[in-house]
Chain A
């Protein structure tokens, strides 16, 4: 035995071509929305992790460091103790200690001014660093005089792996000059960064310029998703209090505000795109539902005459619109989730590294969808169905049965 649901379902498919086209439009909107969200989510997480890897989730430096130029003003007093405090506050975090020394770096025939980075890399961080940037050789260890250079910098200095380079860092508390062996070449997506990169072990940098010194402590938390970032901001005030007024604690956002802004724009962009998709599909739904109503004016007149009140007639029209949208949404949803599942194993396209590099987008994206993203998109489709049916439903509810039955389509 039928009910209003089956009746609406049969009515929807009476004009099969038109309904398929319209359901297809809704399906396409759902499909695009899902794939888009999947990709944007991957871009977001990718950018987030690249940024966090580069500067840490949280960064400790001396207060007012942006206005200070001299190395001695930038040194964190009691760096070892500060590091211990951080580690105690966040035992599961990795702490990267860096000493940045402005220096002149020379090969046999050429020189460049660089910011030497002496870095003590904890295991996970080191592994990520190698995976992302190491092009050739081995990263310097603490008991060698090795240096890792950006490949572009090495070219500029006309040196290669195994060659010697000389660093001059005058007016410091260390030796002020040292020779290093090029042990690694690094590749960075951003060419400008590659032209400046020069990494030593922390011990080597300290010997050169500041025994026991450090200019920067990075806190790397075990967070890989942008959606979990609120934890980072929540952590900051407590750390700032624990470390006292002489030090500044900044999140990655404050360290790199422009990229943080780009990152914050991605979600609203998705929303705007989704709105556009669904408004377009919704207009088609309005058209289809309204045409169906016009063609069946007599029938609506009969149904009203037999005793269906305005509420029931409204419901019948809404139901048709919802069924149309949902059948499209289920189709588009399956395809969208399917495609994202396939792409989730890793996805790239030619040129992504070039465009993406400057924004810190990794070269391989791993799109994924949360259950909420899927449900939210389906909700969009349902809302589209309801809104699209609003006006036709009003028209149907206001029909006069006598006039409607006299109507000939």
Chain B
């Protein structure tokens, strides 16, 4: 057992979480969502967070993604400690290092599939030609090339989520975080999506950390971290 006070930063880890706690406070009612979580994700890993509803998966992913501030503990992205960064610094960090896939797809309705896939690159200020090429390649990797010009409302849920994965992929982040990416999909489409992600992981070495409570999806994963009541219960 490593000592609690000893902070080691592993060189090959993309992500390290140390002793992370998060207590939500609503009208002076305190809800502890995370109670000291330790977690590590290595380069090229395909890892999942599992656990019942309310176990803290979303909270943990939000803290890792720099979308929220922990109550205590540390989050390291590569060699950089990110808990405690300012709002603008976190935005910049997300822009250049992190990819996100959300449960509700969250594509931008007025942009085509191709434009959605290029959105992060646009925020980064890349040239139109560069954006176009990268976004198209990402769409094609996910088998969405022929739908490039469709708007989100002309796509099925599974197709929209593949565009969302392409959006994350096109920006080549250090890690893609996906909070229940298949929860809005039927199980067949969900498994197809996970298989797409798995292929990206194998072929391009893209690191993934996603959450799910569907046991069938978890069969495709290198490592499953089980959360319960804000604590890591086990790793398989």
Q: A316 CB to closest chain B CB, in angstroms? A: 10
A85: CB under 8 A from chain B? no
Q: Is the CB–CB distance between A405 and B92 below 8 Å?
A: no
Q: Is the CB–CB distance between A2 and B115 below 8 Å?
A: yes
Name the residue on A nearest B93 (C-beta). Answer: A307
Contact string against A for B residues 128-170, beta-carbon threshold 8 Å, 1 for contact and 0 otherwise: 1001100000000000000000000000000000000001000
B115 / chain A contacts, CB cutoff of 8 Å? 1-2
Which of B41-49, B105-113, B226-234 contacts the other chain? B105-113
B68: CB under 8 A from chain A? yes
Name the residue on B nearest A401 (C-beta). Answer: B67
The 8 Å CB contact of A299, one of B67, B98, B108, is B108
Contact string against A for B residues 77-101, beta-carbon threshold 8 Å, 1 for contact and 0 otherwise: 0000000000110011111101010
A4: CB under 8 A from chain B? yes
Q: Is the CB–CB distance between A307 and B108 below 8 Å?
A: no
Q: Is the CB–CB distance between B88 and A307 below 8 Å?
A: no
B131 / chain A contacts, CB cutoff of 8 Å? 1
Q: A146 CB to closest chain B CB, in angstroms? A: 80
A308: CB under 8 A from chain B? yes
Which of A6-14, A188-196, A244-252, A332-340 contacts the other chain? A6-14
A331: CB under 8 A from chain B? no
Residues of B in contact, count (CB < 8 Å): 33
Q: Is the CB–CB distance between B122 and A4 below 8 Å?
A: yes
Q: Tell me, in angstroms, the Cα distance from A163 to B44 when the chains sit together.
A: 115
Q: Is the CB–CB distance between B62 and A310 below 8 Å?
A: no
Residues of A in contact, count (CB < 8 Å): 25
Q: Is the CB–CB distance between A1 and B119 below 8 Å?
A: no
Q: B221 CB to closest chain A CB, in angstroms? A: 24
Q: Which of B157-211 touch A at CB < 8 Å? A: 167
22 contacts between A and B (CB under 8 A): A1-B114, A1-B131, A2-B115, A3-B128, A7-B110, A10-B111, A11-B110, A14-B109, A14-B110, A299-B108, A302-B106, A304-B91, A305-B100, A306-B95, A306-B123, A306-B167, A307-B92, A307-B120, A308-B95, A309-B95, A310-B91, A400-B68
Q: Which positions in B face A, CB cutoff 8 Å?
A: 62, 65, 67-68, 87-88, 91-96, 98, 100, 102, 104, 106, 108-111, 114-115, 118-120, 122-124, 128, 131-132, 167
Can you add 10 more A-B contacts, CB < 8 Å, to A2-B118, A405-B102? A2-B115, A11-B110, A298-B106, A299-B106, A299-B108, A307-B95, A307-B124, A310-B91, A401-B67, A405-B104
